[in-house]
Chains A and B, each alone.
Chain A
Amino acid sequence: MVAQPDSDVLWARALTHAHNGSPALRGVSIGVREGEILAVSGPRGSGKTTLLRCLSGQFRPQEGEVWFNSTPVHTMAPLIRERLRRDRFGWIDPEPVLVPELTAWENAALPLMLRGAGRRAAKKAALEWLERLDIGAGARKRPHALLHSERQRVVVARALAGTPTVLFADEPTAPLHRAERAHVLRTLATAARSHGITVVLATHDADTAELADRTVTLLDGRQVNTIHLPHASEAEGRTACSLSV
């Protein structure tokens, strides 16, 4: 086994995982350096989400290893993995999943409060991040009163407010328009760089991947260097379907 470089905060070796028999990951090895933004790209169904979930300890990979700061994640007890997620990791869902009963700032402060931070400190940090993401005005609103993009920004604020060591973002900009997408991504990247947060970003969008320091491409659960998807030939079918004028 090759020793991993010291700069890798998170690394995985030969990850294999299947959902109820259908394979999602087939032997993916990946290393994430401290403070970098790593994009995991690939088309839908290529195993990006599964990889992120394995790395963040939500799934226990069926084969392979996940190490975080020289601690094995794949052998951890569920409770310790839960605490690891709470204290060290952040997570952004593709769809904004907030607690509908709590206001925006309470949602954003929730991870801090779950860690046992005082209410006042948690509120201050949450409001600060909400302000930075341009939703300070909606801090006292409930999720139902916010726009979809605002909700997603609250989710980003929630993930950043805890200043995690590693932030996993699973298609964080999927529900957003392009202008909002750029804004959220810029904030995410700036926050990551200024606070030294390592980001693992799953995306199928080339523009989003450009923001990253490095890109790992998955295809059908395998790591590939370049994608050669068979392009549909231009002429074939087009003529058959064209309106004959």
Chain B
Amino acid sequence: MLALRLARGALPTVQLRRLLVTAASGGTGFLLLCVLGHALTHPEAPAQSALRLAWCAVPLAATVYFAVTVARTDPGTRPRPGLSAIGLGPGRLMAVSALTTALCSVLGSLLALVLFLYLRGEPARAPFEGDAARSLAPGVPLPLPAALTLLSLVPASMSLAVALTLRPVGQGRWRALAAGRGPLGTRRAGAGGKRRADTAGTAVPGRGRRTEAARHASRRHARTGARRGGNGSHALSTVLDSRDPAFAPADAPGADQDPYASGTPRNAPGGLPWGVAVLALGLMVEAYASRSDSPSGLVVPGGFANGSAGVLAGWLLTALGLVLAGPALTHLCGWLLQAVQPGALRLLAGRVLQEEARRIGRPLGVLCAVASGAFTLGTVYSGTSGTRSSVGPFTVLGGLLVIGCTALTLAIVATEARDSRAHTTAALVRIGAPATMLRSAALLRAGALLALFGPLTLAVAALAAAPLAG
């Protein structure tokens, strides 16, 4: 009930985000139901249906990513002193977050089910005609347990991901293990745990020393991680580690006594060499696979020509490379902006971009990967006009879902970055910084990112499409 009340009292923009989560989960649920329909109408080809189901993992991943971002940036479920004073600490708030997400996605899934049934002509009306409508298996009785199981996949994975991301432990077990500590020993210690403990207002005096020691340990660990710079474990751990300080709700009230502690400049994100290496490897694998493989194996639903497992692996590696390189490229972009004799505008634009590189870079990399994938698909489809090149409506729906979710995630993260700087911006306005300049700094940042990532995306897409079209 508390989750409902908190959800009801939120701001319109937050409600809009939740609505978008509902829409995304509904779209993914609809895709899953369509796969079920395909399986019902094609009982002779289970492999093809399984392949379609596997392709649904991409929209599902995008949806979960989006839901986690929305839940993480939700101001309603952030630790609040007023609530923690009455005992609603980070732990309960995590549950509230997961519950809110579950509510949204269950609603979306139900809508998807209703739409699916409606399109099938379930309550005694004529089903829709046409090629696409045959995937909905009209006339074949729908096995309800199967449909519900498939539909519950989306809310379950969303809530689980949200709960895992927002769980109130200091450092993940993997980080603790990597630091040479036991998986259980200092679960609540560490920098994050300290902050959460402070936030919850439960700073037990007796625990101070241990927490302090753990913080030193974690700082040491962070330093070694930074010194290792661009090696793989670091880059991968930054990809996998959702508990990165940039992802923690940094501007929770009372989170830091020192407002500048969160503004401590960290080293430049070091994923660039690995990102480039993985990207190049992906392109190479893809080129090799498309040259040597026979046109069999994995096929994109809707008739993607000549797709093979090798090409897919190449694509995945390319995408991973872009995601890895994203933060470092963003940082580079900011560095270039403020490089030579900067005035106030370039100084503000560049330094802020450098500071926000970790936060913004990863969603930006994901969006680039998705965009380049879409571009490649478009090239391939338009190149092989003829036999089976028409894009099915479900492929379009899936593509729109993926692009929409990643773009919205980037937008939300950008908004979050802006909100976390509201304090500084207000101070700048007090000393008379013109609003137009602040706005043009933001535009300059966006333009610089576009100038760097746009051509990069196009180049990667062109390189990826070249062997397929040829």
Contacts and interface: CB of A to CB of B under 8 A. Distances in A.
Do A and B pair up? The answer is yes
Interface of A: 58, 79, 82-87, 89-91, 93, 95, 97-102, 106, 110-111, 113-114, 119, 142-144, 148, 151, 158-159
Nearest to B424: A99
B434 A114 contact: yes
A102 B334 CA distance: 13
Contact of B260 (A85, A110, A144): A144
B292 interface: no
Nearest to B351: A101
Contacts of A97: 423-424, 426-427, 430
Interface string B416-460: 000000011011111111110100000000000000000000000
B43 interface: no
Contact of A144 (B265, B341, B342, B434): B265
Interface residues of B, number: 30
Contact of B427 (A87, A93, A114, A142): A93
B340 to A, nearest CB: 10
Interface of B: 258-261, 263-265, 341-344, 347-348, 351-352, 354-355, 423-424, 426-435, 437
Given A100-B260, A110-B433, 14 more contacts: A83-B434, A91-B431, A91-B432, A98-B427, A99-B427, A99-B428, A100-B263, A102-B347, A106-B347, A110-B344, A111-B431, A113-B347, A114-B344, A114-B433
B425 to A, nearest CB: 9
Contacts of A90: 431
Q: Which of B344, B430, B431 has the most CB of A within 10 A?
A: B431
Contacts of B348: 99, 101-102
Nearest to A103: B351
A98 B348 CA distance: 12
A58 B352 contact: no
24 contacts: A83-B432, A85-B430, A85-B431, A87-B432, A89-B432, A91-B430, A97-B424, A98-B424, A99-B348, A99-B424, A101-B263, A101-B265, A101-B348, A101-B355, A110-B428, A110-B431, A111-B431, A114-B431, A114-B434, A143-B260, A144-B258, A144-B265, A151-B260, A158-B431
A196 B460 CA distance: 61
Contact of B344 (A58, A91, A113, A159): A113
B76 to A, nearest CB: 22
A90 B199 CA distance: 35
Q: Which of A85, A102, A114 has most B Cβ within 10 Å?
A: A114
A88 B355 CA distance: 31
B344 A86 contact: no
5 closest Cβ pairs, A-B complex: A86-B432, A100-B263, A85-B432, A97-B427, A101-B351
B10 to A, nearest CB: 21
A95 B342 CA distance: 27
Contact of B351 (A98, A102, A159): A102
Given A101-B263, A101-B265, A113 B431 contact: no
